[in-house]
Amino acid sequence: MTLPAHPLPSPSRSGRDLRFAHVAIIGKYQAPGSRNAVDEIAHFLHDEGCDVSLEQETALNTGLMQYQALDVPAIGLHCDLALVVGGDGTMLGIGRQLARYGVPLVGINQGRLGFITDIPFESYRETLRPILRGAFDEDPRALMAASVWRDGRCVFEATALNDVVVNRGGVASMIELRVEVDGHFVANQRADGLIIASPTGSTAYALSAGGPLLHPAIGGWVMVPIAPHTLSNRPIVLPSDSEIAVEIVSGRDASANFDMQSLTSLMHGDRIVVRRSDHALRLLHPVGWSYFDTLRKKLHWNEGA
């Protein structure tokens, strides 16, 4: 869907050397100062010669109606690049939706440095200018396709960039889970839950639960139990072409959530099946970007000399 826009002056002639001519902006419009940040970046892009559109909800909630407003499918079909202005949560939400269209994304962080929104707002001009003209490092991120099966029927489907988490309910008791990988029985686990995380999600909930960090270039998932009853149940790294199935054996009020942004309740006998998605997120970074620089800054590692 496209909303009408008030016309802007014609873009500058410098747009002739652009790699990305039509750019969409997606903003965390609930955050203080978001309107001004989105408007400032939009003006910068226009001055660089880009055609500028805003994601529909961003336009409606900021009131910036002088730009064309597009829904996600329209962005996927008509835009060359998407700029995400906000934090990692904003990137997770839009990234899952745009991955199927192959549109690359750049993350501009308004607050603290993010793992996947890694360009500080204060330096977006000097960082974006070369990216718009084709000087960037591309960083593909695998997505997980998850489904919930009940009595042989699929009752819920979702895509996750970070993780799929099976959790116990609010009752102070564990749940029992039967875990299979590629149809092979692994174990019955009693725990507070189980995390299946991508390399991108290895720095999120899985890390807090004691899982390892996975470099984004690794083709694997990490499966991490949450507070397991048997302490020998440890995190394990699996190939990303594996199919993981988790069945609810016992426990009350269990649920599954996907990137902590969508949730479904589970019943005894439900099976949560996780496999690699056919789509991947295309993240763009400045030339010379290093994953280890991000880890050092975000995790406050000693930088040394």
Catalytic residues: 88
Both tokens of residue 278? Answer: 């056919």
Euclidean distance between CA atoms 58 and 64, whole angstroms: 8
Instruction: Compute CA distances 225 → 161, 166, 196, 235, whole Å.
Output: 19, 10, 9, 7
Contacts of 86 (CB under 8 A, 6+ apart): 26, 27, 28, 31, 34, 108, 109, 110, 117
SS3 95: helix
For strand 51-55 and strand 184-191, is the pairing parallel, antiparallel, or unpaired?
unpaired
Q: How many residues does the chain have?
A: 305
Euclidean distance between CA atoms 44 and 52, whole angstroms: 10
Euclidean distance between CA atoms 119 and 253, whole angstroms: 40
One DSSP character per residue, 20-63 reads: --EEEEEE-TTSTTHHHHHHHHHHHHHHHT-EEEEEHHHHHHHT
Number of C-beta neighbours around residue 185 at 10 A:
10
Using CA of residue 141, residue 58, residue 298, residue 197, what is the dihedral sign?
Answer: negative
Using CA of residue 52, residue 56, residue 57, residue 63, what is the dihedral sign?
Answer: positive
